[in-house]
Amino acid sequence: MRASLKFKFIMIRNLLFLLAFTAVSFPVFPGEGMWLPSLLEKYNIEEMQRKGFRLSAEDIYSTDRPSMKDAVVRIGGCTGVVVSERGLVLTNHHCAYRAIQSHSSVDNDYLTDGFWAMTEDEELPNRGLTVTFLVRMEDVTERVLSVLDDGMDENQRQAAVNIISGILEDEAVEGTRYNAAVNSFYFGSEYYLFVYDVFEDVRLVGAPPSSVGKFGGDTDNWMWPRHTGDFAFFRIYADDENEPAPFSGENVPYRSPVHMPVSAGGVRENDFTMVFGFPGSTRQYLTSHAVDMLIRMRNPHSIRLRDERLAAMGREMERSDTVRIKYASKFASVSNAWKRWQGENRGLERLDAIERKRAIERRFAEWVEGSPERMSRYSGVLPGLDSLYSLLEHFTLAFDYGQEALYAIEAVRFVNDFLRLTETRTDLRQGTDPARLTSVLSQVSGNFFRDYHQPVDRRIFSMMLTMYRENIDEEFHPAFFGEVTTGFDSDFDRFADHVFSESAFVTPRGVADLLYVLEQDAAGPDLLEDDIFVRIVGDIRAVYNENVISEWNSLNDQLTPLYRLFVEGLREMEPERAFYPDANRTLRVAYGQVRGYYPRDAVYYNKYTTLSGVMEKNLTGDPDYNIPDRLRELYDAGDMGRWTVNGEMRVGFIASNHTTGGNSGSPVINGDGHLIGVNFDRVWEGTMSDIMFDPAKCRNISVDVNYILFITEMFAGAGHILEEMTILR
């Protein structure tokens, strides 16, 4: 009997240890991870096939034959997918928003009305917008690490990495038209070389009105259920040899060797999904110190600052269509992170993220103590991180307020950029061509004032400086704060009236006069110093750039080698597990399944939405739910063409793919390698997935390809676009 009881005790003890181990390790959940496509055969393809993928790893990524990677592009800061042999690219409406805005005016309001080129001659060029294809990726870790040694400090190490990276990049593109970049993974434990082909002539082909492409506006941003037709079409142009070329009327549509077929058959529960794109940034390996600072301090302050900026923009946008068009993209950009941070904090608090991170750190510390060799290499990691984060906290709030308050003032950013271009003042007097400089400055100012409204910026100026003074230690206050205290009774509103009435930098005419003096008079640069905004920016630079940013960067640089060792140790501690690297704007694969979820107790969200939901939201009267008359006509007539699934016009769907910023516009691909949707968002309950993934609630949101086809053909009358595509049932 005693032996039996002892055996049971041992079994229970071992089970409890196993459960504890599981709770404090870094488990990879179904749907979690952003994986390098070149490593799918090694780490992922078997699991992908179990989930319903019916192709091979080489069908996704190959350098020996055409593969899916040859249809996936980086377009601006987003992802897109080539969907025709003539270089037609499908991405998100919000990724095209800046391009649509740039072509819009009160008379031709493409944001409100949409834009559809009925011929290729009508397609609109977009200066500065590029499309980038990945040619290949290569593990160059051995070559990079061969020039490093443990005796180097971080600056020496990075300098050596930069030198060898430059050599590798030059070797990779010698004799070709390509670009190359070496990227760091796992905080510098591994390095990969990426070779790219970049096309400069990219033209807008079609985009629905914002009442479709941005349906739900800020009300629905980051939310599910979602009914947004978030898509747009561009086309890549090339020269006669099908090679990249600057914009020219002589260029022709790019002849694409690969394009993604489209499946209009609809999605079902548990269908395999793959998101293929260029995710921007994740921070999965942050320690408890960093997560605590984020939840307690960084996110709450940044949210409050953006509250004020959004209010200032919103008031003026409601008063004027001209201002609405000018600030549409800016408002959306500010609002996007503002709402995400709120969801991120809620998600991290719900997951008890700080304590879960601490549990991982306790397990790591115990593992380190189990071996003299591990003690020698890793014993200083966690104490070092703890010490550095304690020092970093003093500078972090000031750093965030610099980004979200001081440099949130548009005129401050403009003057700062202007001064950077004029700071070689002695060179001007020694023969530098002033006309060339003023031409560049004129272009910069023209771009600035095209989308600038002084009353908005004046209000933001007053509020941001007030909040900076109230929340940031006096040691980080710019010198002109003293002038506000003594000369304006500490009233930043009165100071704003003075600054915006005196500075030449807040009107096109004032800047034009400055440029004239710069071009005509060698002493002109000295006149800049008399402008009050120049003095303000100088004071900001003196305290923020020199005292805050320098210290903040220095401390973060010291964190990097400790994180490198931390992740190295974790990978050694759990050798059976594949650790995916944080996103860094390189091409990645995420895979999961179509699934609904429970956002809260007793509430379940279905996996897809329909056009009926658009009409239901429209009836609420919320202006974010306005719809075009044509859309209602089609709905009332039941005229959905061939694009319904089981009698429904599906709009969007959710799946368990791990995505982040940069994945906007990514193709969502089914088990047969066919396009079923375009990724555009995450659900609010899952926005903490950049830091901690929750398989129960993390869902990516995609516009259903059937809705894209319906809007393009039936709503816009642009069926000629569909004729280029390969559409399957």
Q: Are 664 and 93 in contact (CB under 8 A)?
A: no
3-state DSSP assignment of residue 336:
helix
How do strand 727-728 and strand 262-263 relate by DSSP bridges?
parallel
Taking CA atoms, 55 is separated from 46, 51, 60, in Å, by 11, 12, 8
Other CB atoms within 10 Å distance of the CB of residue 58: 15
Q: Are 651 and 627 in contact (CB under 8 A)?
A: no
Taking CA atoms, 573 is separated from 374, 457, 619, in Å, by 10, 52, 56
Rg (CA), the chain: 27
Burial (CB < 10 A; 0-12, 13-18, 19+), residue 571, is: middle
Q: Are 571 and 636 in contact (CB under 8 A)?
A: no
Alpha carbons 493 and 79: distance in angstroms, whole number:
42
Structure tokens at 323: 């201002």
- 158 Cβ contact list (under 8 Å, min separation 6): none
CA nearest neighbour of 129 among 201, 184, 179, 78: 201
Alpha carbons 474 and 119: distance in angstroms, whole number:
60
Q: Are 423 and 541 in contact (CB under 8 A)?
A: no
Alpha carbons 215 and 223: distance in angstroms, whole number:
12
Other CB atoms within 10 Å distance of the CB of residue 190: 17
Alpha carbons 489 and 427: distance in angstroms, whole number:
41
For the chain, how are helix, strand and coil distributed in percent, rounded to 5?
55, 15, 30
CA nearest neighbour of 558 among 391, 363, 726, 725: 391
Alpha carbons 106 and 579: distance in angstroms, whole number:
51
Please name every residue paired with 182 in a beta bridge, in sequence order, or none if there are none.
193
The DSSP letter of residue 489 is T
Burial (CB < 10 A; 0-12, 13-18, 19+), residue 603, is: exposed
Q: Are 168 and 194 in contact (CB under 8 A)?
A: no
Alpha carbons 178 and 506: distance in angstroms, whole number:
41
Q: Are 710 and 124 in contact (CB under 8 A)?
A: no
Alpha carbons 24 and 356: distance in angstroms, whole number:
7
For 343, list phi and psi in degrees, rounded to 5.
Answer: -65, -35
For 616, list phi and psi in degrees, rounded to 5.
Answer: -65, -45
Amino acid (one-letter) located at 569: G
The DSSP letter of residue 268 is -
Alpha carbons 474 and 163: distance in angstroms, whole number:
41
Residues carrying an active site annotation:
94, 230, 664
Torsion-angle region of residue 699: left (phi > 0), alpha (psi -120 to 50) or beta?
beta
